[in-house]
Structure 1
Amino acid sequence: MRFDRRLGGLHAKFIALVGATLVLMLAVVLLMLQRQSAMQREVVHQSRDSMHALVFERLRVHGEALSAQVADTLVNPLYYFDLDSIGVVARNVLKQPDVRYVLVYDTKGDIIHDGSGDIPTYGQAMRDPLAYEAVSANGVHAQWTDRVLDVSSPIRVGDQRLGGVRIGYSLDGVRADETRAANALGDRLGAIGTQHLWWIGLLLAALVGLGAIASWVLQRALVRPIRQLAGVAQEIETGNYATTVPESRRNDEVGELMRAFGRMGDSIARHDRDIRRMAYTDALTGLANRLAFRESLDQRLMQLRGAGRQLALLFADIDDFKRVNDTLGHDAGDEVLLQFANRIRSAVERYGEAEDTLLARFGGDEFVILLQGGEASGRDVRAQATELAETLVAELGRPIVVQGRQVFLGTSIGITLFPEDAAGATALMKNGDIAMYQAKVAGKSCYRFYSRAMDQAVERRVRMEQDLRGAWERGELSLVYQPIYRLGDGQLVGAEALLRWQHPEQGSIAPSVFIDVAEQSGLIETIGPQVLRAACDDAMRWHTQFPRGKDLFVSVNVSPRQLRSGELPEQVVATLRDTGLPPPQLHIELTETAVIGDEVHASALLARLRSNGVKVWLDDFGTGFSGLSHLRRVPVDGVKIDRSFVSDVLRDPDDLALTTAIIAMAHSLGITVIAEGVEKEGQYAILRERGCDLAQGYWLGHPVGAQEFSGLLA
């Protein structure tokens, strides 16, 4: 309907344009008529004014002549005060056309005669508005109002003034004559305007007819074919690319447009097929992508609502996949993803029917499986999801051969159910992510079902991450130092810097909790350099203030994320330069799994550190799946035997034998051995007997603040 309204509006716009033109012309005509009427009124008005001026001027001239004549006639009668003679002259003047009054007055302006028989105004002073100028004038004087023309003339005998005479002419007759003449002129002009109006009306009617003809031609020649193209475009918009464009044999521009539109429709259909394949398919694995999965999930949920059927989503994420990209390269990573996708696809195809399952890759190393409970099986969808998750954990836990090397990865799977966990697609996908994360926290290579408690755990983790941001600047994070002693002579030779967090509300938070949050969120990349600088500052202060501190070293733990960033050597060199601490007095501790998981990258970074004089220790040695043979390929200066072995050396012969073997093999490679977790005198004694170099633990000393550690040196 949008195309119909838009393209159908072309005809309407043309009609509107014609209409607007007609309206404009009509407005012009009306304006012309208005101007003509105004001109007629102006002509009549000017003619009337001219006529008035002409008649008034003639009347004034006539009045002035008559007034002067009457003044001459009244000289003797007024000199002898002959009222009868004055009355005869005045009455003769009153008989003339348009004369309204005749007043004969003395030098004071008092009336002597008004032309009446009994002279009722005799002796009265003239008090009308025109009297003053009439009495004061020295000669013939004319003045007027809207209704009367007053002409006065003094009466003199020689230089002696006897009085004067005033003749008043009524202007009503003059105005009546002017009105009749003006009306006659207006009627004639109106007749001429009416004739013009008829001609203008005929021209407008002709224009309307011409517009109607043009509209009809436009409708047939342009609007109709464009409307047909609009209908085809609307079909294409709704996804019906099979619609055909009407054929046109016209050789003009419109015909060429319709043929070009047909070719464009065919091209769009081809591109749509290609784009849909690209938009809904993962380019690497050929599986459905996130967009296709979300649309399918929305459709399934609409079908299942109210039907009493269940649905499960399985979020599978490859464990430690980044290690493959970092060590073997992205090509090897793509090969791993393909093999994983094929294994997952095979397991899903063996497990369920195609219409009840959907496999998609969400990007990176995350795969999602939609599992719909089948009516034929009669099994609960939770049981089906459990069986499929167990199959996937087992299948994806088998080694993968990439570039001639075996790679052990595994997968962590999170499972969420509809409608138990959520009723909407967005909530289900969020729950699946949460459950998958909990599977990773639980140790990886396992699966977990979503539960409400997971939301609370995630919320606590998010809140902890927020609180951890800026904790160093607020003074909540601090360093404590655990003494490290030489077993041969019992001398204090160094300290391990340990990070502690005193939360303002929750109190002391275990390092195993907040360090993991910092590692997962990336905050460790900010906190780690701050810890390194603070530890070097404290060590330098001991070095300058205490004689025993000159050879004292400080060991600082570095997270795997700091190691992977590749900036660790530059950070260490800059810190040593700024603090002035000699490089041999700084020991960097790295976990065994962080180093062994990325030997090539780690070896290069550790070699750069050691070339600057910094020593490198391998922490928690013996807890990983690697062997001592890796020590030949990774440049380290020392290994720390994990506390889990040290704690049982007095009662477990196997732990004692393993500890003894680690000490002997490390010494054969020229590597220092440090035992951690020494909590009993017997442990200390047996480790010294077996040749262990250094030790730390609660029996030797608890972690203390920098000031308390200074007391040990004093």
Structure 2
Amino acid sequence: MLEALPMAAAIVGLNGDKLWVHALNDAFRKTVLTFDLEENEVQVFQRHAAGRMGTFFRTFLADPANAPDQIESEDGEGLSRRYFTLKLAPLGPHRDGSPRCLVSLVDRTVEMRAEKHLRDEMLRDSLTGLPNRLSFTESIEQAEGDHAVLVVDMLRFSRINESMGTMAGDELLITLARRLMGALRAGDVLARTGGNEFAVLVRLKQGQDDAMTAAHRIENALVDPFRLSELEIRVDCAIGIALLDGEAEGEELFRNAQFAVKQAKAVGRPTVYAPSEASAARHRFSIETELRRALDREELELAFQPLIDLKTGMVTGFEALSRWTHEDRGPISPTEFIPVAEESGLILDLGRFVMEKSAATLAEWDERAGETLPLYVGVNLSAIQLQRDDVTDVVSSALRAHNIGGERLTLELTESAIVQDPARAGQEFERLKGLDATLAMDDFGTGYSSLAYLQRLPIDVLKIDRSFVIGMLKDADNIAIVRAILGLADALGMKTTAEGIENVELATTLATLGCDNGQGYFFAKPLKADDAFAYWQERKKSGRLLG
């Protein structure tokens, strides 16, 4: 019977206190999971019988109806390590009356290695090989004792890219990383957290003095000029320092150090973050007050960035983006007011405005065209909305108000929003799918999403973050990551959209790799509603594939 099964299988029984293998097939025998079986006819678990595995089997055999029937296991070390799922099913008793069960063994090694590889890629900066911002934040969270975070901002770095090209800039960043590493002590953590930004986690033995000493070592490491394309280039930096006080979260501590960088640029020396001097907090409060008033007065607008089918060149939809023009300050960047909206809870009102306006715009376009257009609008959802609002009700109300089908909306959530509360996300996703809405994971690759989430959640689209896309043509690692994401999406039956397409080379490369849709300044910047409709009309008439 066992040899006919398409998997590794065995029959295990419990006789007294001993676990016995009554039968097993060749597939089970050939697995690397070693049970140290005796060579007699009725084989005995020796190594595993006293451990977690033994407890698992004994509990199940004693009460199959109420005991766990599945366990994860692994065997081997290093590159030879393998991962398995053991599943148990009850069988009738042995002829001596002892309980038995059927054991099936599923080899998950390939899946686990792929997940680990993808996680490793997501935690590492492909250019320098250093940890990235996500990895660095995790290091802060795991730090014990007194530590300081130093954020090192390379000044006027953009001028090097503009005058010498990005390849020269990348070469300089690699050399910078080596110098910084040489200036640090063993145990300090160096990461690349932005284009020209590095961060260091320093263990403190003598308080703030140790942090300042580390900052001066970094400055001294940059005194000698860098040689680049027969030129000698001097690089200056601004260093902001934040001290771990036992209360601040890792991301907050990092932001404090970033704020201190701004002060360091102003005074020309390494600066320690001082909460009493954090004028940024007052500015955020000002933005919050003005944003609340703007929402009440309906002063915000939407811009729509086209999404292009990379095979046909046709417009498939638009991503809705919030725009705010202040009556005194002029245009205020979303990167400035969106974080304030999330922090203050105004993101709920803003999210409802965007949802309603997106549905209304689709209805207006349909009326102008005299038909139901084959277009959808993508709307971003934040983790705050998912946690504190009835998102499904908001979506349903907007659809009903404007007689729009759910398939016309794509709802985008970031990886971090999903990972924060996967159970809540799963429940809300199922409700949204009941409205026929499309679900997309935004900025894929910048956070850490277990492959299990992708399998369990009804996600339709993976949006590849622009940080991977814009570096594809100069960084083989980025191409490898994009290829891996495309392969993963294909295996899971998901569509893909690449963000940040800025030239024809990127568009054609992504199309060749099998990416479904793309967006970016190469196609169009975010447009007003009327201009977006005209863009769709013009592109439909011209039949352009790219550009």
TM-score using structure 1 length: 0.39
Q: Which one of 439, 442, 446 corresponds to residue 253 of structure 2?
A: 439
Match of 2:418 in 1: 595
Q: Which one of 611, 614, 617 corresponds to residue 437 of structure 2?
A: 614
Match of 1:686 in 2: 509
Shift in Å, 1:512: 1.2
Match of 2:226 in 1: none
Name the larger-Rg structure: 1
Alignment of 1:56-455 (within 5 A): 382-383=208-209, 439=253, 441-442=255-256, 449-451=272-274, 454-455=277-278
- String of CA shifts for 1:584-631, please: whole Å, max 9, x gaps: 001101011111222111111111101211111000001112344431
Q: Which one of 631, 647, 661 corresponds to residue 454 of structure 2?
A: 631
Distance in 1, matches of 2:328 and 2:454, equals 44
Match of 1:495 in 2: 318
Shift in Å, 1:712: 2.0
Match of 1:708 in 2: 531
Q: Which amino acid aligns with 1:455?
A: A
Shift in Å, 1:570: 1.3
Q: Any conservation in 2 of the 1:434–1:458 contact (CA below 8 Å)?
A: no
Q: Any conservation in 2 of the 1:414–1:434 contact (CA below 8 Å)?
A: no
Q: Which one of 489, 494, 505 corresponds to residue 666 of structure 1?
A: 489
SS at match of 2:321: strand
Distance in 2, matches of 1:489 and 1:517, equals 39
Provide structure 1 residue ranges, at least 5 long, that are not aligned to the other structure: 1-342, 349-378, 388-411, 417-431
Shift in Å, 1:565: 1.6
Match of 2:398 in 1: 575
- The verdict on how the C-alpha distance between 1:604 and 1:440 changes in structure 2, with shifts beyond 3 A counting, is farther
Q: Any conservation in 1 of the 2:256–2:273 contact (CA below 8 Å)?
A: no
Q: Which one of 334, 337, 345 corresponds to residue 522 of structure 1?
A: 345
Distance in 2, matches of 1:645 and 1:560, equals 23
- The verdict on how the C-alpha distance between 1:600 and 1:483 changes in structure 2, with shifts beyond 3 A counting, is same
Match of 2:280 in 1: 457
SS at match of 2:449: coil
Q: Which amino acid aligns with 1:607?
A: E
Question: Are residues 1:504 and 2:318 paired?
Answer: no
Shift in Å, 1:505: 2.0
Distance in 1, matches of 2:253 and 2:426, equals 31
Q: Any conservation in 1 of the 2:309–2:518 contact (CA below 8 Å)?
A: yes
Shift in Å, 1:454: 3.7
Distance in 2, matches of 1:648 and 1:380, equals 41
Match of 1:85 in 2: none
Q: Any conservation in 2 of the 1:415–1:449 contact (CA below 8 Å)?
A: no
- String of CA shifts for 1:230-256, please: whole Å, max 9, x gaps: xxxxxxxxxxxxxxxxxxxxxxxxxxx
Distance in 1, matches of 2:466 and 2:472, equals 10
- String of CA shifts for 1:671-713, please: whole Å, max 9, x gaps: 1100111110011001111111111111111111011112223
Distance in 2, matches of 1:518 and 1:676, equals 24
- String of CA shifts for 1:54-110, please: whole Å, max 9, x gaps: xxxxxxxxxxxxxxxxxxxxxxxxxxxxxxxxxxxxxxxxxxxxxxxxxxxxxxxxx
Distance in 2, matches of 1:443 and 1:696, equals 33
- The verdict on how the C-alpha distance between 1:564 and 1:689 changes in structure 2, with shifts beyond 3 A counting, is same
Q: Which amino acid aligns with 2:274?
A: S
Q: Any conservation in 2 of the 1:415–1:450 contact (CA below 8 Å)?
A: no
Q: Any conservation in 2 of the 1:554–1:585 contact (CA below 8 Å)?
A: yes
Provide the aligned C-alpha RMSD in A: 3.3
- The verdict on how the C-alpha distance between 1:547 and 1:627 changes in structure 2, with shifts beyond 3 A counting, is farther
Q: Which amino acid aligns with 2:449?
A: S
Q: Any conservation in 2 of the 1:623–1:642 contact (CA below 8 Å)?
A: yes
Distance in 1, matches of 2:275 and 2:400, equals 51
Shift in Å, 1:439: 2.0
Q: Which amino acid aligns with 2:523?
A: L
- The verdict on how the C-alpha distance between 1:626 and 1:386 changes in structure 2, with shifts beyond 3 A counting, is farther
Distance in 2, matches of 1:568 and 1:471, equals 22
Q: Any conservation in 2 of the 1:414–1:436 contact (CA below 8 Å)?
A: no
- The verdict on how the C-alpha distance between 1:664 and 1:442 changes in structure 2, with shifts beyond 3 A counting, is farther
Question: Are residues 1:555 and 2:378 paired?
Answer: yes
- The verdict on how the C-alpha distance between 1:452 and 1:524 changes in structure 2, with shifts beyond 3 A counting, is closer
Shift in Å, 1:554: 0.4
Question: Are residues 1:535 and 2:365 paired?
Answer: no
Distance in 1, matches of 2:281 and 2:290, equals 14
SS at match of 2:474: coil
Distance in 1, matches of 2:401 and 2:421, equals 30
Distance in 1, matches of 2:472 and 2:257, equals 27
Distance in 1, matches of 2:207 and 2:517, equals 56
Distance in 2, matches of 1:435 and 1:513, equals 21
Match of 1:640 in 2: 463
- String of CA shifts for 1:344-403, please: whole Å, max 9, x gaps: 9x959xxxxxxxxxxxxxxxxxxxxxxxxxxxxxx976449999xxxxxxxxxxxxxxxx
Q: Any conservation in 2 of the 1:502–1:508 contact (CA below 8 Å)?
A: yes
SS at match of 2:355: helix
Residue identity over aligned pairs, in percent, reads 33
Point out which structure has higher relative CO (alpha carbons under 8 A, 6+ apart): 2
Distance in 1, matches of 2:210 and 2:522, equals 53
Q: Give the number of the structure whose residues are more often helix, by fraction.
A: 1
Q: Any conservation in 2 of the 1:434–1:454 contact (CA below 8 Å)?
A: no
Provide structure 2 residue ranges, at least 5 long, that are not aligned to the other structure: 1-141, 147-204, 214-240, 262-270, 538-547
Distance in 2, matches of 1:656 and 1:599, equals 29
- The verdict on how the C-alpha distance between 1:413 and 1:486 changes in structure 2, with shifts beyond 3 A counting, is same
Q: Which amino acid aligns with 2:322?
A: L
Shift in Å, 1:580: 1.1
Q: Give the number of the structure whose residues are more often strand, by fraction.
A: 2
Q: Which amino acid aligns with 1:554?
A: V
- String of CA shifts for 1:473-502, please: whole Å, max 9, x gaps: 334321000011111111111000000111
Distance in 1, matches of 2:387 and 2:326, equals 29
- The verdict on how the C-alpha distance between 1:443 and 1:585 changes in structure 2, with shifts beyond 3 A counting, is farther
- The verdict on how the C-alpha distance between 1:454 and 1:615 changes in structure 2, with shifts beyond 3 A counting, is farther
Q: Any conservation in 2 of the 1:469–1:523 contact (CA below 8 Å)?
A: yes
Q: Any conservation in 2 of the 1:500–1:511 contact (CA below 8 Å)?
A: yes
- The verdict on how the C-alpha distance between 1:459 and 1:664 changes in structure 2, with shifts beyond 3 A counting, is same
- String of CA shifts for 1:148-186, please: whole Å, max 9, x gaps: xxxxxxxxxxxxxxxxxxxxxxxxxxxxxxxxxxxxxxx
Q: Any conservation in 2 of the 1:543–1:552 contact (CA below 8 Å)?
A: no
SS at match of 2:352: helix
Distance in 1, matches of 2:250 and 2:405, equals 46
Shift in Å, 1:413: 7.6
Match of 2:521 in 1: 698
- String of CA shifts for 1:560-589, please: whole Å, max 9, x gaps: 100112511111111111121111001101
- The verdict on how the C-alpha distance between 1:621 and 1:437 changes in structure 2, with shifts beyond 3 A counting, is closer
- The verdict on how the C-alpha distance between 1:456 and 1:648 changes in structure 2, with shifts beyond 3 A counting, is same
Match of 1:544 in 2: 367
Match of 2:121 in 1: none
Distance in 2, matches of 1:593 and 1:698, equals 26
SS at match of 1:470: helix
Distance in 1, matches of 2:533 and 2:391, equals 28
Q: Any conservation in 1 of the 2:257–2:273 contact (CA below 8 Å)?
A: no
Question: Are residues 1:485 and 2:308 paired?
Answer: yes
